[in-house]
A and B are shown apart, each in its own frame.
Chain A
Amino acid sequence: GAGVSQTPSNKVTEKGKYVELRCDPISGHTALYWYRQSLGQGPEFLIYFQGTGAADDSGLPNDRFFAVRPEGSVSTLKIQRTERGDSAVYLCASSLTKTSGGERKETQYFGPGTRLLVL
């Protein structure tokens, strides 16, 4: 079946511009995560959705970053007034949570990422 897809695959913008990054999760996955990854580093958590609501947005670096998931499927990460330091690969992951022995277990499956370059 289809995996997580992200568009665009690459985005070049100028400092100060607004960008939107889209994530299509695996069909039926209720949880959706955004991470960003700088060169040579592991991913860094940004925000987590359970259904339509943002269950944890503690990783968003500042109020220029915002994400939505209005129908509980596709999500859009929005960055206002972009800065050169926002340049990174933005990764989306989705998961189907299961409860086993009273413990929630899940595996996060990742998309290919959007490479954002702010000039």
Chain B
Amino acid sequence: EDQVTQSPEALRLQEGESSSLNCSYTVSGLRGLFWYRQDPGKGPEFLFTLYSAGEEKEKERLKATLTKKESFLHITAPKPEDSATYLCAVQAHSNYQLIWGAGTKLIIKP
């Protein structure tokens, strides 16, 4: 069964304190792994897609990496505006739906 697990459930950091969020997955043939950001009361906002192990992508203070079993979202010197829930999802070769983790709620204190 395709499955995504994210950890930790919540993470509180001081402004400027770098850290990483984890997304572990099992999927029968990975088509792509996706990272989204979700603010309260809003829909998920697309951040990155990773297609193969070893791939990395960066956007501002965020960097996503992928191995055959997990993905990390590294956040460098975060700011309070980076506070949000970060969701990870996988798409299998066999279909087009996204299978989601429960998310990591990130809080950055000024």
Contacts and interface: CB of A to CB of B under 8 A. Distances in A.
A112 B43 contact: yes
A78 to B, nearest CB: 20
B102 A40 contact: yes
B98 interface: yes
A2 to B, nearest CB: 14
Contacts of A55: 96
A107 interface: yes
Contact of B96 (A4, A56, A103): A56
A61 interface: no
B44 A56 contact: no
Contacts, number: 64
Contacts of A31: 96
A33 B91 CA distance: 13
Contacts of B97: 33, 45, 48, 56, 59
B96 A42 contact: no
B102 A41 contact: yes
Contact of B103 (A42, A48, A110, A111): A42
Contact of B43 (A56, A105, A111): A111
Interface of B: 4, 31-32, 34, 36, 41-46, 49, 51, 87, 89, 95-103
Interface of A: 4, 31, 33, 35, 40-45, 48, 55-56, 59, 91, 93, 103-113
Given A105-B31, A113-B42, 7 more contacts: A42-B4, A45-B98, A104-B31, A107-B49, A108-B98, A109-B46, A112-B43
